[in-house]
């Protein structure tokens, strides 16, 4: 495990971050304490509190940094002209990040209380909402943006935690693909919707149009704030129709 003596060129902040990440990777959350971090980083305990506030602040900083580094290394995989393919790529990256960084992933998503949400987890969900909104703008989303984002987010986390519970040599990664495609089939339609006679298809088209219009509303300045709020309420009601 690295310590201050092996990384003399790093400042105290970076040594503490690196020491914490190393402790997490080798021993999990239970191995991380202010005393252990201070010893591994070659600093005094008060410096940790001065730089990060408390242990939660330090852990949030380490998780956010780890997520940003991973995201930057894979950014090219996210770029695609089709927002549905971007969702697929993002899903696969999410699962991959969790399997490669189990300690960081459990810190991101292991405590579901809103008050303990890690900033990196909020950023990941914001990226997902942005991509779902792009799908809605193309007319291919069958549910409202928030419902679609929450369905994808919940399913992807569930798959990742399920795979983490299985020994790496026994994991069936096809599980992730099957769940991903099942969710996408439930919330999206093809670029050119299949024409099917009947009321059910009319309802699907109406919902899709309502979701699309709502996604495009923020870019429109023709309505007053009151008119936009009223139209949003109507579109929400239509998009929830079943």
Tell me: pLDDT of 109 over 90. Answer: no
Tell me: pLDDT of 2 over 50. Answer: no
Tell me: pLDDT of 4 over 60. Answer: no
Q: Cα(208)–Cα(188) distance, rounded to whole angstroms? A: 9
For residue 67, what pLDDT is reported? 85
Q: Which long-range contacts (CB under 8 A, 24 or more apart) does 187-195 make?
A: 187/141, 187/142, 187/143, 187/147, 187/148, 187/151, 187/152, 188/84, 188/135, 188/140, 188/141, 188/142, 189/140, 189/142, 190/140, 191/138, 191/140
pTM beyond 0.75, yes or no: no
Tell me: pLDDT of 114 over 70. Answer: no
**What structural domains and CATH numbers belong to the chain?**
12-53 (1.10.10.60), 68-192 (1.10.357.10)
φ/ψ bin of 193: left (φ > 0), alpha (ψ from -120 to 50), beta (otherwise)? beta
For residue 193, what pLDDT is reported? 45
Using CA atoms, how far residue 133 sits from 127, 149, 179, in Å, is 10, 9, 21
For residue 110, what pLDDT is reported? 82
Q: What is the CA radius of gyration of the chain?
A: 22
Query: For 58-77, what is each residue's pLDDT tens digit?
Result: 998 998 888 888 877 777 66
Structure-derived torsion over alpha carbons of residues 137, 139, 142, 146, reported in degrees to the nearest 10:
0
Tell me: pLDDT of 50 over 70. Answer: yes
Tell me: pLDDT of 140 over 70. Answer: yes
For residue 230, what pLDDT is reported? 79
Tell me: pLDDT of 213 over 90. Answer: no
Exposed, middle or buried, 30 (CB in 10 Å: 0-12/13-18/19+)? exposed
Tell me: pLDDT of 158 over 60. Answer: yes
Q: Quick one: tokens of 184? A: 């996408």
Closest CA to 143 of 233, 212, 234: 212
Q: Cα(147)–Cα(154) distance, rounded to whole angstroms? A: 10
Query: For 28-39, what is each residue's pLDDT tens digit?
Result: 888 899 999 999
Q: Quick one: tokens of 55? A: 């242990």
Q: Quick one: tokens of 147? A: 């419902």
Instruction: Please enumerate in sequence order all residues whose Cβ is within 8 A of that of 59, keeping only pairs 6 or more positions apart, or say none.
Output: 20, 32, 107, 118
Closest CA to 50 of 73, 70, 34, 68: 34
| CA dihedral for 167, 173, 179, 184, sign (positive or negative) | positive
Higher pLDDT, 222 or 219: 222
């Amino acid at each position: 495990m690295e310590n201050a003596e092996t990384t003399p060129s790093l400042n105290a902040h970076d040594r503490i971050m690196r020491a914490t990440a190393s402790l997490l990777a080798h021993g999990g959350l239970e191995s991380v304490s202010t005393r252990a971090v201070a010893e591994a980083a070659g600093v005094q305990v008060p410096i940790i509190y001065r730089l990060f506030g408390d242990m939660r602040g330090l852990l949030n900083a380490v998780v956010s940094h780890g997520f940003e580094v991973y995201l930057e290394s894979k950014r090219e995989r996210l770029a695609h002209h089709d927002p549905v393919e971007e969702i697929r790529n993002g899903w696969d990256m999410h699962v991959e990040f969790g399997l490669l960084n189990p300690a960081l992933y459990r810190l991101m998503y292991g405590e579901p209380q809103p008050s303990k949400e890690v900033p990196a987890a909020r950023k990941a969900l914001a990226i997902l909402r942005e991509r779902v909104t792009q799908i809605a703008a193309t007319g291919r989303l069958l549910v409202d943006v928030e419902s679609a984002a929450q369905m994808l987010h919940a399913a992807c986390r569930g798959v990742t935690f399920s795979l983490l519970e299985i020994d790496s040599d026994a994991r069936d990664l096809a599980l992730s693909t099957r769940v991903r495609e099942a969710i996408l089939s439930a919330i999206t339609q093809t670029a050119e919707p299949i024409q099917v006679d009947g009321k059910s298809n009319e309802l699907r088209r109406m919902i899709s149009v309502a979701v699309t219009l709502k996604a495009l509303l923020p870019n429109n300045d023709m309505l007053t704030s009151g008119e936009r709020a009223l139209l949003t309420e109507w579109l929400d009601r239509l998009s929830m129709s079943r």
